[in-house]
Amino acid sequence: MAAVESPEAAAHSPPDSAQKLSWTRVQGELKERLIEEDCRLSWDTKTLQGLRYIGGVDISFVKDDDVNAIAALVILSFPDLKVVYEDCRHVLLTEPYISGFLAFREVPFLVEQLDRLEERQPEFMPQVVLVDGNGILHHRGFGLASHLGVLADIPTIGVAKKLLHVDGMDKRSEAQKQAVAGLKKGGDTFDLVGASGKIWGAALRSVDGAPNPVFVSLGHRLTLTSALSVVKACCHYRIPEPTRQADLRSRRVTHDIPGTNSKQTEVNDAATSLRSMSLHET
């Protein structure tokens, strides 16, 4: 009998050229469905009137383990930014990590969580989702936020903590350093313009005193201008509240996993619910 490859071995397998070619093809096909303009929005993009629920997603790994993780979806009411719903799921990320293809490891679990929310508590379906990662600010113009947005058919925004070096952009360049230095107060931005002249996103000083900017890019069904308006309205700290809460809650739940060896952890339907609840009345 042939040996069965463990999830850990699968995740650590060297990148396969056939896998990369396959994923590149799928990315290209999905990118054809990408919408880089305000499309089918249920709120006013200038005043944010009508915006009631904003989602945030993030995935946190168990310490010293890149297979066992917690996928978190949180829904915040707007404009008060209170968490009204959270869903934290134990997942096994068995797809190999290949730079530029993170979405193939993470997005399926996030889509499942949005589907679950729509089925069980549709009143909390977010009108826009903030993603800890990039949208079109990506080597092939189709990062995690764009991938999620297209598959879930929902407006998404990428908010990254580090600048991805694409199209000649480099945070170490003198031009980038000067631009960052020009972000004096919360809400200040500058466009991230590549060598080709393309605007990939924007650097944003989230709040006064934030040590570093975040890097915002449109994900799907929004313009960069509209994406920035939403992100600016969500910042109490450097990280916008939707992704900040998703990060905090997913990290907290990682401590509830009984072991870091996936062989010791039973997983039903690829995700064990550790916490999933409406917080609307609490």
Distance CA(178)–CA(163), nearest Å, equals: 15
Quote the CA–CA distance of 263 and 163 in Å, as a whole number. Answer: 36
Q: What pTM was computed for the model? A: 0.88
CA distance 260 to 264: 8
User: Nearest 5°: CA angle at 234, between 233 and 240?
Assistant: 140
Chain segment 131-172, per-residue pLDDT in tens: 999 999 999 999 999 999 999 999 999 999 999 999 999 877
For residues 174-187, give the mean pLDDT.
85
What's the pLDDT at 2?
Answer: 41
Q: What is the pLDDT of residue 178?
A: 80
Q: What angle do CA 109, 112, 117 make, to 5 degrees?
A: 130
Band of residue 31 on the pLDDT scale cut at 50, 70, 90: very high
Residues 90-131 pLDDT 10s = 999 999 989 999 999 999 999 999 999 999 999 999 999 999
**Whole-number pLDDT of residue 279:** 54
**Average pLDDT, whole number, for the chain?**
88
Tokens of 37: 């303009």
Q: Is the pLDDT of residue 14 over 80?
A: no
As a whole number, mean pLDDT of residues 37-60 equals 98
Indicate whether 85 pLDDT > 50: yes
Digit-coded pLDDT (tens) for 183-225: 999 999 999 999 999 999 999 999 999 989 999 999 999 999 9
Is the per-residue pLDDT at 15 higher than 70? no
Better-scored residue on pLDDT, 12 or 245: 245
> 67-78, pLDDT tens digit by residue?
999 999 999 999
Q: What is the pLDDT of residue 1?
A: 43
The pLDDT confidence band at residue 263, using thresholds 50, 70 and 90, is very low
